[in-house]
Amino acid sequence: MARFVPKQALPLEAKYYAEILGDGTQDVANQIVSYISPLPEGTVLHDNACGQGIASKAIMAQSPKSISIHATDIWAKMVEATKAVASQNSWPIECATMASEDLTFEDNFFTHTVMNFGIHMVKSSAAAASEIYRTLKPGGTAIFTVWADTILIDAVNSGHERTRSAGTPPPTGVTKHWMGVNQVSQVLEQAGFDHKNIRHETAATSIEVQDSRRWAQIVWSFMGALDSGWEKEDETRWEEAVDTVQKVLETWDGFKKHEEGDGKLTMTANVVIVTK
């Protein structure tokens, strides 16, 4: 039996998800790739949890084509999006649907791994980090990004608290959109990386929000469901929840409203770089 989904919820498609952070993740990817560019000939890079190939795009814009990229993601629709971009541009990217916690690559395979806003999204960050350590060559470099800001968590938790009974556990999926930089470092150390080879950087970006109401609608559609799924009352109180999410955005310190509905959201990403 299919799970109940409120009629107002947008379908979980990559094109909608991309609207939440606009060009922000691409901007951050462009910044972090500079830490490893230009990549030397013979580079074998893993775009881990590739999404729509954002990191791969940044890499190909700054590095020669005498490299090879393996782009993987557990979400098949994301992999297809990356594959389409690679095909259109004749980029040397092999794409595969694959969980970050269970990679099929052999040991010491990659010279570099880039995980742009992925380490906190997988089911097990610890397992994913262990697989990255296993598949990275000695001397290889891995780069991770996580948002320093908590606006997504605050927005969804506010919608949850406004429309659901007191004591109802919030969606745990929301917390996956934020992971402290020290947590990332700890996970990497537990996977086998030496703490002396870990360093932290930051990358700031501005995201154009064309319609704050639509932004709130997408955020609630993608992140508002309880772990057990949507409930009938979520449909009844949908607009109330979206109102609350929208208010959190528009009163956020990093949001500058221009006109009715649109504005600029400034966010900062934490960057963790480690050498095996």
What confidence tens digit (pLDDT) does each residue in 145-195 have? 999 988 999 999 999 999 999 999 888 766 655 788 999 999 999 999 999
Q: Where are the alpha helices (DSSP H) in the chain?
A: 14-21, 24-33, 54-62, 76-89, 125-135, 151-163, 172-175, 181-191, 212-223, 232-236, 238-250
Q: What is the pLDDT of residues 24-33, one digit of tens each?
A: 999 999 999 9
User: What's the distance, CA 180 to chain centroid?
Assistant: 14
- Across residues 98-119, what is the average pLDDT? 97
Count the alpha carbons within 13 Å of 184 in the hemisphere toward its beta carbon.
32
- Across residues 197-216, what is the average pLDDT? 95
What is the dotted CATH code of the domain comprising 14-275? Answer: 3.40.50.150
Averaged pLDDT score across all residues of the chain: 93
Q: Are 98 and 159 in contact (CB under 8 A)?
A: no
